[in-house]
Structure 1
Amino acid sequence: MSETVAVAQRVPPLVLIHGPESILIERALSQVAADLRLAQPEIEISRLSGVAYDAGTLPMEASPSLFGEAKALVIRDADEGSEAFQTDLLAVLPDASEDLVLVVVHKGGARGKKIVDALKSAKARVIDTPAIKTDRDKQDFTTNEFRRAGRKATPDAVRALIEALGSDIAELASACQQLISDTTGLIDEQVVMTYHGGKVEATGFRVADAAIAGDAAEALRLLRHAIATGLDPVPIVAVLASQLRQLVKVGAAGRGRSADLARDLGMAPWQIDRARRALSGWSGDALGRCIQAVAAADFEVKGGGRDPVYAVERAILTIAAEHGR
């Protein structure tokens, strides 16, 4: 996926920031505000929200300034606004001009869609802020973080960062900025391990890699380390399930270029390559039994059993034992 935050340029009267990803929303708002002040240093920027909106506030805020200064209204949470909010916002859209810029944030969904439609019909500038969910999304986001700063990171470095921090996009972005600020030259896996090695080693991904490779002792060691450092059993089981499903998907996809399969399967190319390497020693029946074992562990760690850690250990031992059968 590509990040579509606008570069410095003149801001049109209507701007729509559309999508649920909070970090991209904040960056888009910062960029728009910077562009507004660059063009009109004295502009007055006000902020409103569709949440807990009082009827009549928008028309009042959109009215001309007593001293004739240009104004900008940043309107957040348009997707959560009441009918009164939507009515008022639609009423002030035609007032947008060089002296009144309306910047509307809508996180997506059906609620408030008529606002989105009206803005698009009025030729508003649209800044997309789509959700960063899949591993491919996270890979593209992380790679782009380094590219924006004129830096290059190896695929292994990107993978290690995602494995360590990928569940929190804001934390992932912060880690990228730390590496950009604190290092020089190529960012490789060793650099990432220097800064985030403890988190990488404690993640469910390392546990899953060891179990799928048939190394029960290492998988259990990593599991106990992860639990000791505060990682909950639930995401570990989720990673085990995800890694096994990836093996099934890649195994069923057959041959082909990694990039092509990645696009078709919604994975990153390095995940295709890693899954292909991991598939050595696995049969379809064995993978099926492992998926059943992980499903049972998932039930237990979410309240169905008495000892969540033991449930994960049992699933790991099952996976390791099935390797090579």
Structure 2
Amino acid sequence: MTAARGRLCSVARATTIPWDKVTPAPLVLVTGPEGLLAERAVDRVVQQARAEDPEVEVTRLEAAGYEPGRLGVATSASLFGEPRVVVLGGLEAGTDAAFADLKAYAGAPEPDVVLVAVHGGGNRGRPTLDAVRAAGATEVACDPVKRDSDKTDFAVAELRRGGRRAEPAAVRALVEACGADLRELAAACQQLLADTTGVIGADVVTRYYGGRVEATGFRVADAAVAGRAGEAVALLRHAVATGTDPVPLVAALAVRLRVLAKVAAARGRGLTAGDLGMAPWQMDRARRELTAWRPETLAAAITAVAQADAEVKGAGRDPVFAVERAVLRIAAAAGN
């Protein structure tokens, strides 16, 4: 085996790393339900293996419908000792044979093979995954990206990988417009990288995604929390008219008020934005907004959203009216 091929299969360590740090190793375990990150982790391993040796052979197997012995065939020693990358995907739906073969292979991996095992989450095959970890696999955790602070970090990193940066307001607008789905957010970042130059400002994001930004529930919530009742209702009606369901609109109101409540409760305790699970700009904005709120009015606004949440989920006859009433109550409470 050449020196390059020896580096290709350097000794793995039992550790968990992000997708953009993974390198080829005898055993790579990609776990978690965030499919985009899992795909990127696999692609990164394959690309790096090919960069070390363009002749590397890549074999992809699906654990769903897997038949006994297929992994052994894919990883068996070749006549000329070419390095190989074998990707065993879909383990969350894998057959018993897939788990049995993977567990056996992890006990004695081939020196010229990089095995990437992908599990989308859940309890199926947990003993086998534990055995792969115990064998020294490098694990890539692809957990769901749900918090706004994590989505912000993802967008910033995505743009940085493209050699660009964006103003904080632009990142916020981008996350609000496209952050419901990580693939959509990634695609939006790639579009901005391809179609624009220089520092990305909020005006650029508005030009590309303005309709979605203005109609998003977070824009409705921003206006309501600021006490701008007319603007909030107008944005709400536009959102509904363009197909937005009342449920996520109420959820956006709840998120905004929850941020205010968390920052208010953290006063004087020395907690950082990270401690509260939010981005620094969110905490700064909440501190500014809280000057117009008292504990009593904030509690009343939260109660109004809780009532609207129950009504849009079946307790009321008119979900749109329920959301509009909550928006008006929030706006009325702001500054009182």
TM-score (norm: length of structure 1): 0.91
Q: Is it true that 1:116 corresponds to 2:129 in the alignment?
A: yes
Q: Is it true that 1:188 corresponds to 2:201 in the alignment?
A: yes
The residue aligned with 1:278 is 289
Question: Residue by residue, what CA displacement relative to the aligned partner does 1:1-21 show, whole Å, maximum 9, x if unpaired?
Answer: x944237x6x22222223322
- Distance in 1 of aligned mates of 2:291 and 2:213: 24
- Distance in 2 of aligned mates of 1:100 and 1:190: 49
Shift of 1:157: 1.0
- Percent identity (aligned): 53
Matched-pair contact (CA < 8 Å) for 2:58–2:84: yes
State the SS of the aligned residue for 1:265: coil
The residue aligned with 2:215 is 202
* Alignment match of 1:103 (pick from 116, 119, 125): 116
The residue aligned with 1:269 is 280
- Distance in 1 of aligned mates of 2:333 and 2:93: 49
Matched-pair contact (CA < 8 Å) for 2:75–2:110: no
Moved more, 199-208 or 26-35: 26-35
Question: Residue by residue, what CA displacement relative to the aligned partner does 1:5-38 show, whole Å, maximum 9, x if unpaired?
Answer: 237x6x2222222332211111111111112222
- Give unmatched runs, 5+ long, in structure 1: none
- Distance in 2 of aligned mates of 1:296 and 1:93: 53
Question: Residue by residue, what CA displacement relative to the aligned partner does 1:137-192 show, whole Å, maximum 9, x if unpaired?
Answer: 11111111111112111111111111111111111111111111111111121121
The residue aligned with 2:266 is 253
Q: Is it true that 1:167 corresponds to 2:180 in the alignment?
A: yes
The residue aligned with 1:290 is 301
State the SS of the aligned residue for 1:226: helix
Q: How many residue pairs were aligned?
A: 320
- Distance in 1 of aligned mates of 2:25 and 2:89: 18
Matched-pair contact (CA < 8 Å) for 2:19–2:38: no
State the SS of the aligned residue for 2:291: coil
1:9-28 to 2 correspondences below 5 Å: 11-28=24-41
The residue aligned with 2:325 is 314
- Distance in 2 of aligned mates of 1:255 and 1:139: 26
**RMSD between superposed Cα atoms in Å:** 2.1
The residue aligned with 1:135 is 148
State the SS of the aligned residue for 1:46: strand
Q: Is it true that 1:83 corresponds to 2:96 in the alignment?
A: yes
- Distance in 2 of aligned mates of 1:166 and 1:81: 31
Matched-pair contact (CA < 8 Å) for 1:161–1:192: yes
Moved more, 241-250 or 80-89: 80-89
